[in-house]
A and B are shown apart, each in its own frame.
Chain A
């Protein structure tokens, strides 16, 4: 056995798990190509893999690895601060940025390992807690075991795979690349999938003996074939799971343009966040009381959604090189209201609150603004802090919201139908009644105290555990025994009853504009202000109107005194939002974009300087003890012997290259017996100074140098005497 590995039974040996040569380089090149930074990827790959071609190595100590890791952490922090504060990226965007740049951020660490003399890094490098613990144990005098080490090669490979997965979304399929039909099996395979499979094969085959490659190849082909089908399955599964749970997971902080899951059937108190999501400043026109976010058409089993045709969104026209998004041409419409909104995006795509009949969205910095068939506006903002101004006007139906569609806007699910019909028949609305008359009848139904409807945040009734497709929550709400609920119950019941009365109606979620902040002169839109109402089509007037049947006291019930913590958070959000928006103003753009960059650069310089100072210090500490340093080969080359050797060579004969110093000296002593007492001592001490790992003591060195000096003097005296003679 060439190397003895103890304790394998008890511990995994991560130090021996090394990737094959050039695997990391190839993966880095792939990363570069996919991320659009080919040159960077190639450069980094060359820098990493050139350790196979050069013999130069650093004697990194464990402390040096910690310094390099600190550099990586500093880079992480700088990028994070720069992205969050400087670029104002949201959490999801920052995650993307990290996934993209992780290979570069971790590069110093892997580079240090590859160019270090050891081939593994102590694992405590990566844990401040473990390092502290070790220091504490050392101070306490406990026995310390050598820290476990790991070769970071495969870890870096995993990081690269993670990054490739994040950046390879736009990679072409094999069909596109090889000009095949994408319908054929191989043509639909992603190039990233093929490349990653090949890299995995490279990594795996390095672990197994060459004779097993054929079987491994067969198994890998099977695995890649199955994996190709499995990933399609995963996509389908994701779609199903997302439909069922995503809204539940993401909560009610932001609307979804495609669907809205109601809280029907949830037992217990409905909890809404007091966090401020938007700030709205009324500028012109009548102050709106409701700001719609998303509109839906179809209701079934607790969920409001839009049918496929209406859910599909189309881009809103953007005036060239301006942040002006025109839904209707302002020249053709009269402005009825203007409102400025600002807030934070909570995802990559943000549903924007707007005014009814929005004609123009102005001053919105976004990559794209889209609207769907029912008038929901979704933006892909450039920054996480958003501000925009909404102009409403007398736009033509269809420009924002599609006119009534009796197929969808009259739709009542079969499950709800009996109770809805029962309730509408009780209204006794004449068939000749106008649309407004029908709407008023429904409004009266909910407002009349005789009917006993009341607003409550405490959800009871049909529990979610009893939920099945046969349970009608609206039926329960309209039943005389129920008749208590929050806005979603009222809005849904209103929509369905109006539809039963042949009034095309849609379901809207958004905000109630109620709370005014005198300091900022804005209305604040909190989670507690989230609201749902109906939007009915008035055939006679050819327009949509809002119908809100929720008892007017709902806001008073929702309103609770804010906690000091919430007040502080509100202030903080306000300042941060104001600062972020202010520094993006045209005049300050360059300065405030450069400032975080300058700060980050300065911090980076400080960290790098500290790193190099530390490295130099540790190299200096290594060298005298002879434990190995960058200048190991030079150790002992400053020995006084070399000068003496030259003098001796001049006196007698030079030392042949193949003769040892000791053998040469033995010959010299036979010629000059007078040198016998001093020369062997000089040679022995020189040997120790040059090669003994323990080195020589200070006093021995002084004695050695003194002996050499005396010897030189003796030689000089002899030479002078010979000259005289």
Chain B
């Protein structure tokens, strides 16, 4: 086992260095260049015996073409370009992003055949990740694959890859000329996408090798928000409502309406702005204005970040997408999610103030960067975090990566505290819903969410499929 661990560690060094070298080469050599190099090499090998073939002649001319291509690239002047990218701060996983880039040439010479490429930072897996994280169903692979774990490396690279860029068509730039180029980005998964900057590809006279000149434009990163699904029928009690004394949830309601009811004596804790100054002057004791009590239900969204080792990352990603779908879905229905619980962190967004209107945006930002953890303590931290605020909650939407006794106990406890729970669990296959627990099968999460009919109201959370 130890030997395999060491081997994997050594392989990490080999793969990561190889990937860097490979990236560097791919940046500098075009497809035609690779073709030329390989063909020259093969013909050169065939032409070792110069007496019996003319391969050495073909090899000589191809070698010289390669040499002249390199020379041509070395002696050519670098184009002096300035670029301005008009790219939004946010993108959504799975949704292509198109944005214009204005490139201005500040040099004197004209350049032909330039191309623009969005160069994205390639995040390599860490050594710890490579050693510890196994590809899904890796155990089913053969011994060679399990030993050399190349597929694991490829899989990790794939999962780390946040987005793909495109290369523009070739363009010509004259001195002082500006050109507007539409670039496109395909975000693969949520996260913070660092931008290394735009690169201008400047090729040699034969188009075999190229320079990838970096043009900085100031933008550092794009936040890729999680993928969202359309929700089915979602009924949330929005806006402020008059108190319904019959519902227990009213006990946790706060706030005041503008409807004046009457005057009463001041009690410690009453806000100063409610003091009725004239009555105080008349009666010589503090009197406050009493307003009609009102009910404002408070909703919370909780995301379970614990991903057990036998579950694929896909479970977690789908859970994040479901949570993000609710953030967006609730916003469109003029209701507000007040709390977001992620792992042990609680984010409060409805305490008033100018920032409240951007609550969903901030929630999506949080969800964009959340990472899974195999540590079960995180689930306990989530539970503690919700319980602390249970008294002020009306209902909660809980998104779990799996269904377990611990999670069930958490739901029961919340219900015991009079918090209505709407539970969504990502499952490997279709399952019949339990009481107030709905299972979203992997691969059909979008359809399942769209078919859900959710009704969340203080004191009553109902849903039907």
Binding site for B on A (CB under 8 A): 1-2, 4-10, 12-14, 16-17, 99, 140-142, 154-155, 158, 161-162, 164-166, 168-169, 171, 190, 192-193, 196-197, 200, 204, 207-209, 211-212, 215-216, 219-220, 222-224, 226-228, 230-231, 234-235, 238, 348
Q: Find A223's partner among B43, B67, B164 (CB 8 Å cutoff).
A: B67
Contact code string B34-49 (vs A, CB < 8 Å = 1, else 0): 1100110011001111
Minimal Cβ-Cβ distance residue in B for A210: B112
Do the beta carbons of A165 and B54 come within 8 Å of each other?
Answer: yes
Cross-chain pairs A/B with CB under 8 angstroms, 7 sampled: A6-B164, A158-B39, A190-B57, A196-B57, A216-B205, A219-B71, A226-B64
- Interchain CB contact under 8 A, B164 and A209: no
Contact between A165 and B55 (Cβ–Cβ < 8 Å)? yes
Contacts of A10 in B (CB 8 A): 26, 122, 161, 164
In the complex, what residues of B have CB within 8 A of residue A207's CB? Answer: 32, 206-207
Say whether B127 faces chain A, with CB atoms less than 8 Å apart: no
> Which B residues are in CB contact (< 8 Å) with A2?
169
Chain A residue nearest in CB terms to B48: A238
Q: Compute how far the CA of A9 lies from the CA of B113 in the bound complex, rounded to whole angstroms.
A: 18
Which one of A14, A140, A166, A197 lies within 8 Å of B46 (CB-CB)? A166
Chain B residues lying within 8 Å of A212, measured Cβ to Cβ, are: 112-113, 205
Residue A162 contacts which of B26, B42, B167, B207 (CB distance < 8 angstroms)? B42
Residue B168, interface by CB 8 Å: yes
Interface-central residue, B31, B69, B72, B169, by most chain A CB under 10 Å:
B31
Q: Is the CB of B206 within 8 A of A9?
A: no
Does B53 contact A208, Cβ atoms closer than 8 Å? no
With A140-B140, A234-B50 known to touch, is A4 a contact of B56 (CB < 8 Å)? no
- In B131-178, the 8 Å CB interface with A consists of 136-137, 140, 161, 164-170, 172
Residue among B54, B55, B119, B161 having the largest count of chain A Cβ atoms under 10 Å: B54
Closest to B206 in A: A204
Task: Name which of B50, B113, B119 has the most chain A CB atoms within 10 A of its CB.
Answer: B50
B residues within 8 A CB of A208? Answer: 113, 203, 205-207
Is there an interface contact between A169 and B52, defined as CB atoms closer than 8 Å? Answer: yes
B69 touching A7, Cβ below 8 Å: no
Which chain B residues border A348 with CB–CB below 8 Å? 52
How many residues of chain B are within 8 Å of chain A by beta carbon? 60
In the complex, the answer to whether B54 meets A9 with C-beta atoms within 8 Å is no
A9-B117, A207-B207, A208-B203 as given contacts; A1 in contact with B169, CB under 8 Å: yes
Tell me if B348 is interfacial: C-beta within 8 Å of chain A: no
Knowing that A209-B170, A215-B205, A348-B52 touch, tell me 7 more A-B residue pairs with CB under 8 angstroms. A1-B166, A7-B164, A8-B164, A12-B34, A165-B55, A193-B61, A223-B61
Q: Chain B: which residue is nearest A150 at the CB level?
A: B31
Dominant SS among interface residues on chain B = mixed
Structural contact, A165 and B43, CB atoms closer than 8 A = yes
Closest to A221 in B: B68
Tell me the minimal C-beta distance from A139 to chain B in angstroms. Answer: 10
Contacts of B61 in A (CB 8 A): 193, 196-197, 200, 223-224, 227-228, 231
Contact indicator per residue, chain B 374-392, by CB within 8 Å of chain A (1) or not (0): 0000000000000000000
Interface of A, secondary structure class, is: helix
Q: How far is the CA of A4 from the CA of B98 in the complex (A)?
A: 11
B62 touches A162 (CB 8 A): no
- Known contacts A165-B43, A215-B72, A227-B64; A158/B35 CB under 8 A: yes
- Nearest to B34 among chain A residues (CB) is A12
For the complex, is B184 an interface residue (Cβ under 8 Å from A)?
A: yes
Q: Is the CB of B68 within 8 A of A223?
A: yes
Given A9-B120, A162-B42: A228 in contact with B60 (beta carbons within 8 A): yes
**Nearest CB in chain B: distance from A123 CB, A:** 13
Q: Give Cα A169–Cα B203 distance, bound, in whole angstroms.
A: 35
B182 at the interface (CB under 8 A from A): yes
- Is B465 among interface residues, defined by CB-CB distance under 8 A? no
Q: Known contacts A12-B31, A142-B137: does B205 contact A162 (CB below 8 Å)?
A: no
Q: Give the shortest distance, in Å, between B239 (CB) and chain A (any CB).
A: 44
Closest chain B residue, CB of each to CB of A231: B60
Chain A residues contacting B32 (CB-CB under 8 Å) are 17, 154, 204, 207
In the bound complex, do residue A234 and residue B39 qualify as a contact, i.e. CB atoms below 8 Å apart? no
Is B48 in contact with A219, judged by CB distance below 8 angstroms?
no
Q: Which residue of A lies closest to B165 (CB)?
A: A9
B405 → chain A, closest Cβ, in Å?
Answer: 29
Interface presence of B422 (CB below 8 A): no
In the assembled complex, the Cα of A141 lies from the Cα of B442 at a distance in Å of 14
- Asked whether B186 is an interface residue with its Cβ less than 8 Å from the other chain, the reply is yes
* Listed residue (A4, A155, A348) with the most chain B CB atoms within 10 angstroms of its CB: A4
Establish whether residues A200 and B205, one from each chain, have CB atoms under 8 Å apart when the complex forms. Answer: no
- Partner pick for A230 among B48, B64, B161, B186, CB 8 A cutoff: B64
Determine if B195 is an interface residue (Cβ-Cβ < 8 Å): no
- Is B65 an interface residue, CB under 8 A from the partner? yes
Q: Indicate which residue in B39, B48, B203 contacts A161 across the interface (CB closer than 8 Å).
A: B39
CB closest residue in chain B, given A220: B65
Q: Is the CB of B170 within 8 A of A165?
A: no
Asked whether any CB of chain A lies closer than 8 Å to the CB of B309, the reply is no
